[in-house]
């Protein structure tokens, strides 16, 4: 159809609408009068601008516009609709919203612009719209957002920007959204979230960041001040490392989704503040070890899954007492059942109300870890375990004390076995190496060790120290048998 004919048909049609406004409702629309004003729904086809301002009732309260090919929202489209409260323009193919399009819609509360073709959001778009509660720009092609655009929206509760082409977020972009409850920025091209981007979102409940396949870091304190948050969804990014304090001060109930990332390492203080967390999903990552004290002090944790990682080693005290935990899955990992699996095995036996899924020895035809009978003691000094224990002692908190207490039984059981083996070992070595020189060497080494433990031992840390001793078979029997004052 040539352009002239199209224009002719369109203008005839506009005339048709104009002449039809006698009843206050354009032909293409249906209008329902409500106590709040008119609820209007319009279905347009093949048009280049909306003839709305020509015909819509001026008390329109709610407006839905459906059109397959509307390129632009003009300044005047809603300019006489002072009471417009709900505007739905989803699935319209809109590329551009004119700067002043919403300027006269001071009562606008809900704006749905999802599934259009918008490329940018200019800063002045919402200068008069402080009543907005719900704003949806999902599934457009937005790559540029001017920093002031949401600056007035202090009542906004939901903001959806997911499925766009956003590559960076100015840290001031959300700074005035103190009432926001849901923020969706998933499925974009975000590479990095700057410090303080979320710091004023003090009422946020749901934070959806997943599917940003260029985001590889989670920096410390990034979620601080989000005391109300209950969902943080970070799945399907490319996060490699979770720094210490990444979840600083998130003490409320939380579902934390971290599956399908590239996490190789979780700092053992990364989850430290998650005292209210209920579900953690770490499936499909690249973890090789679970560090000491990673999953401790989580009294509400119910489900923890770490499936399909590459875990071969779980450090001593990686899991603390988790009283509410009913499901742990470590399915499809490569756990090695040498002496170092012992503490994880004891933990499994302790957690009587937890279903532990997939805790099998990868190199022994899938034998269940809890069924292994003789896990040998480690003969070599495991310095790695010692250093992490010492770290946790020096950062002395009330939490550490709780951990120490809850691990009492585990430690006690292991140190009993250790004592026995140690007495035998030292008797044999005494008979084998009677020379005074060797005796002195051993003696020196032991007294060095006891001075280290003496420094570390502060009040209630005895069980940890006891465990530490049990890991050093050359000396522990001597030290552990001595009365406390002598150490």
b (16+ CB within 10 A) / e for 401-437: ebbbebbeebbeebbeebbebbeebbeeeeeeeeeee
Residues 6+ apart with CB under 8 A from 55: 17, 18, 20, 21, 25, 26, 29
Per CB under 6 A, does 85 bind ligand NAG? no
Q: Which residues contact 57 (CB under 8 A, 6 or more apart)?
A: 24, 25, 31, 37, 38, 40
Question: Which residue in the set 147, 420, 438, 440 belongs to the binding site for ligand NAG (CB under 6 A)?
Answer: 147
Q: If you ran DSSP here, which 8-state letter would residue 200 be given?
A: T
Distance of closest approach, residue 203 Cβ to ligand NAG, in angstroms: 9
DSSP 3-state of 258: coil
Q: Which residue's entry shows tokens 């430690």?
A: 411
User: Which residue among 11, 30, 227, 408 contacts ligand NAG (CB under 6 A)?
Assistant: 227
151 binds ligand NAG (CB under 6 A): yes
CB of 84 to ligand NAG, least distance (A): 10
Contact track, ligand NAG, 446-485, x by CB under 6 A: ----------------------------------------
Which residue lies nearer to ligand NAG by CB, 140 or 224? 224
- From the CB of 204, what's the least distance to ligand NAG, in Å? 11
- The answer to the question of residue 59 lying near ligand NAG (CB under 6 A) is yes
Instruction: Determine if 175 is a binding residue for ligand NAG (CB under 6 A).
Output: yes
Among 74, 115, 146, 148, binds ligand NAG (CB under 6 A): 148
- Residues 40 and 18: beta-carbon distance below 8 Å: no
Task: Say if strands 37-44 and 60-67 run parallel, antiparallel, or are unpaired.
Answer: parallel
Residue count of the chain, please give it: 487
| 336-374 as b/e: b if 16+ CB within 10 A | bbeebbbbbbbbbebbeebebebbbbeeeeeeebeeeee
CB of 153 to ligand NAG, least distance (A): 9
Q: How far is CA 11 from the centre of its chain?
A: 54
CB of 407 to ligand NAG, least distance (A): 26
Rounded to an integer, what distance in angstroms lies between the CA atom of residue 186 and that of residue 160?
9
Judged by CB under 6 A, which stretch of 128-136, 169-177, 307-315, 405-413 contacts ligand NAG? 169-177
Residue with tokens 């003696």: 443
**SS3 assignment, position 383:** helix
Number of residue whose CB is nearest ligand NAG: 151
Of the ranges 97-105, 129-137, 144-152, 261-269, which one interacts with ligand NAG (CB under 6 A)? 144-152
Nearer to ligand NAG by C-beta: 90 or 146?
146
**Minimum CB distance to ligand NAG, residue 59 (Å):** 3
CB 57 within 8 A of CB 38: yes
Nearest distance from C-beta of residue 138 to ligand NAG, angstroms: 22
Residue among 79, 100, 216, 249 that touches ligand NAG (CB under 6 A): 249
> Of the listed pieces 168-176, 253-261, 316-324, 438-446, which binds ligand NAG according to CB under 6 A?
168-176
Beta carbon nearer to ligand NAG, 149 or 296: 149
- At 207, give phi and psi (nearest 5°): -120, 105
The residue range among 223-231, 314-322, 351-359, 474-482 that interacts with ligand NAG, by the rule CB under 6 A, is: 223-231
| CA–CA dist 345, 332 (Å, integer) | 17
Among 53, 225, 382, 419, contact with ligand NAG (rule: CB under 6 A): 225
Which residues contact ligand NAG (rule: CB under 6 A)? 37, 58-59, 83, 147-148, 151, 172, 175-176, 199, 202, 224-225, 227, 249
């Amino acid at each position: 159809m040539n352009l002239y004919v199209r224009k002719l048909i369109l203008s005839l049609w506009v005339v048709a609408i104009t002449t039809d406004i006698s009843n206050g409702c354009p032909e293409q629309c249906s209008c329902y009068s409500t106590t709040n004003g008119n609820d209007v729904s319009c279905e347009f086809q093949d048009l280049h601008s909306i003839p709305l301002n020509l015909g819509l009732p001026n008390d329109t309260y709610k407006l839905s516009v459906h059109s397959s090919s509307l390129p632009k929202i003009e300044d005047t489209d809603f300019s006489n609709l002072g009471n417009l409260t709900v505007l739905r323009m989803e699935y319209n193919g809109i590329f551009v919203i004119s700067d002043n399009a919403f300027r006269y819609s001071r009562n606008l509360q809900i704006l749905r612009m999802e599934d259009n073709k918008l490329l940018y959001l200019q800063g002045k778009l919402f200068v008069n719209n402080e009543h907005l509660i719900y704003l949806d720009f999902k599934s457009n092609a937005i790559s540029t957002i001017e920093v002031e655009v949401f600056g007035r929206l202090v009542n906004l509760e939901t903001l959806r920007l997911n499925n766009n082409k956003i590559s960076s977020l100015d840290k001031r972009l959300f700074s005035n959204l103190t009432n926001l409850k849901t923020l969706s920025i998933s499925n974009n091209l975000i590479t990095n979230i700057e410090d303080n981007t979320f710091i004023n979102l003090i009422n946020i409940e749901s934070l959806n960041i997943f599917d940003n396949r260029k985001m590889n870091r989670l920096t410390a304190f990034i979620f601080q001040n989000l005391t109300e948050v209950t969902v943080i969804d970070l799945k399907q990014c490319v996060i490699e490392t979770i720094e210490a304090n990444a979840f600083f001060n998130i003490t409320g109930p939380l579902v934390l989704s971290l599956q399908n990332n590239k996490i190789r390492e979780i700092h053992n203080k990364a989850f430290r503040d998650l005292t209210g967390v209920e579900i953690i999903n770490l499936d499909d990552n690249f973890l090789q070890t679970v560090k000491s004290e990673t999953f401790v002090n989580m009294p509400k944790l119910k489900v923890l899954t770490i499936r399909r990682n590459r875990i071969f080693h779980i450090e001593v005290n990686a899991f603390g007492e988790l009283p509410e935990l009913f499901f742990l899955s470590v399915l499809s990992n490569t756990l090695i059942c040498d002496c170092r699996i012992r503490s994880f095995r004891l933990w499994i036996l302790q957690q009587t109300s937890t279903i532990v899924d997939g805790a099998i020895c990868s190199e022994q035809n899938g034998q269940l870890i809890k069924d292994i009978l003789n896990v040998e003691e480690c003969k070599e000094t495991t310095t790695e375990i010692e250093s992490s224990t010492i770290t946790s002692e020096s950062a002395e908190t009330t939490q550490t004390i709780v951990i120490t207490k809850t691990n009492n039984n585990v430690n006690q059981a292991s140190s009993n076995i250790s004592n026995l083996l140690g007495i035998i070992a030292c008797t044999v070595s005494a008979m084998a190496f009677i020379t005074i020189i060797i005796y002195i060497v051993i003696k020196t080494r032991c007294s060095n060790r006891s001075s280290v433990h003496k420094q570390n031992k502060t009040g209630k840390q005895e069980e940890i120290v006891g465990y530490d001793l049990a890991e050093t078979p050359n000396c522990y029997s001597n030290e552990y048998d001595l009365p406390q004052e002598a150490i």
